[in-house]
Structure 1
Amino acid sequence: MCDLPERLDGATNTVLCAPSMSGHAGGGGLCTELLQAPEPPGSVLWVTYTRSPSACVEAVRSSSIETASLSVIAVGEAPTGADSLSSVSIDSVSTPSDLTGLGITLSQRLSDCEDVVVCFDSLTAVLQYVELEPLYEFLHAVVGHLHAADARAHFHLDPSAHDSQTVDAVTSLFDAAVYVRDGDREIRTRKTLQE
């Protein structure tokens, strides 16, 4: 692991801006790094539009993350392979555009977990189903719920899939943004995001 926790300067919610095809679900392995920085989580909650629950579980289990519990909220298609994941809590939101249902499910999961770290994969996928304004309002509420739950979170966004106005609007909601370009990392905290 690198000096990522120190460079994030205490940020509790981060947007990971990386091409979707950059490996390890975008970000080239930074996802698992963010899940365990600055310390291993008590619980991991994975919200996914792009991966199956079993792929999310495999990503956590194949990394060095040691966690007491793992939960997955699968959005869109019904969970697959759930029968082999008996030790994992799996919820589903069947309609990808149902931000209200997702918000309720996410709030319930946050209240059930302690010392939770959230991976939200991916905002780019959400923007295929909803416009920017409802997503912005949803994220504003979610960031508030995360702060209230004393949770850390990171959200995946592929900046090459959106115009700069969309990327700027989304990143403005977070404490920090990690940009991955050609293997290099650029980290901006809230004060530099607003410059």
Structure 2
Amino acid sequence: MHTEDIGPYVDDAPTVLVLGEVFDEGTKEACTDLLSRDPLEDTYVVKITDAQSVKSPVKTWTEHAEDNPKQLVVINVAEQAADVAAADLPDFVEVENANPGDLTGLGIKLQRQLGDLQREEGTVHISVCFDALSTLLMYAETSVVYRFARVVTQYFLAAGGTVHFHLDPSAYDQQTVQLFKSIMDTVVEVEPDGTYDVTSR
């Protein structure tokens, strides 16, 4: 199904795989739409990224989103740890560095973040973006990253959250792409003309 707006087709999908080039504007737009499905004033966004600058995911958010979330938690798994103290970030942004070669440590950080969010008072929506799959796949076997993705996804789904992953299909063989497709409720393919091909199980 081709559409210019993915919202109506993914609203009820707790897990989504976005297939598209990382720097494509359509990919960025799809990411922001997926993270904004709930009222942003009650939404905690958790973004696992490999941006060389921690300002990059914040810039992408402000350029594509209509408003700021209650909190944007950036877990940075870039090979070079970001200088968080010197980043001069907005008050709603929190940044942590993580080692991309240590999936156990990354999982612990995510569990701790989830625990902190669950202790927040009032209505809490948790929306998670993994746009660092490619980096994790550089440091571990595909089967290991796949199992990690499944386990971490279950953490957030059990808390009522939504999770989406990014993968550039041109960088991997079909077997790898199909493997990650298999654990998703919906797949969004970003087309060259900026439209989306949305398929759901």
Q: TM-score scaled to structure 2, two decimals? A: 0.84
1:130-145 superposed matches below 5 A: 130-145=140-155
> Gaps spanning 5+ residues in structure 1: where?
none
Amino acid at match of 1:140: R
Q: Measure the CA separation in 2 of the matches of 1:112 and 1:80.
A: 23
Counterpart in the other structure of 2:195: 184
Kindly, what percent of the aligned residue pairs are identical?
33
Counterpart in the other structure of 1:85: 89
Give the C-alpha shift of residue 3 in structure 1.
4.5
Q: Relative contact order (alpha carbons < 8 A, sep ≥ 6): 1 or 2 greater?
A: 2
1:56 aligns with 2:57: yes
Cα deviation digits, residues 67-126 of structure 1 (max 9, x gap): 111211111321235431262221111x31211111111111122223111111121222
Q: Measure the CA separation in 2 of the matches of 1:10 and 1:163.
A: 29
Counterpart in the other structure of 1:100: 104
Give the C-alpha shift of residue 151 in structure 1.
1.0
Answer yes or no: is the 8 Å Cα contact 2:48–2:75 preserved in 1. yes
Q: Measure the CA separation in 1 of the matches of 2:69 and 2:28.
A: 21
Amino acid at match of 1:186: D
1:1-195 superposed matches below 5 A: 3-8=5-10, 10-23=12-25, 27-37=27-37, 39-40=39-40, 42-62=43-63, 63-75=65-77, 76-83=79-86, 84-85=88-89, 87=91, 88-93=93-98, 95-113=99-117, 114-182=124-192, 183-189=194-200, 191=201
Moved over 6 A (4+): none
RMSD of aligned C-alpha atoms?
2.1
Question: What count of residue pairs does the alignment treat as equivalent?
Answer: 187
Amino acid at match of 1:5: G
> Gaps spanning 5+ residues in structure 2: where?
118-123
Q: Which moved more, 1:67-76 or 1:37-46?
A: 37-46
Give the C-alpha shift of residue 39 in structure 1.
4.1
Q: Measure the CA separation in 2 of the matches of 1:86 and 1:21.
A: 23
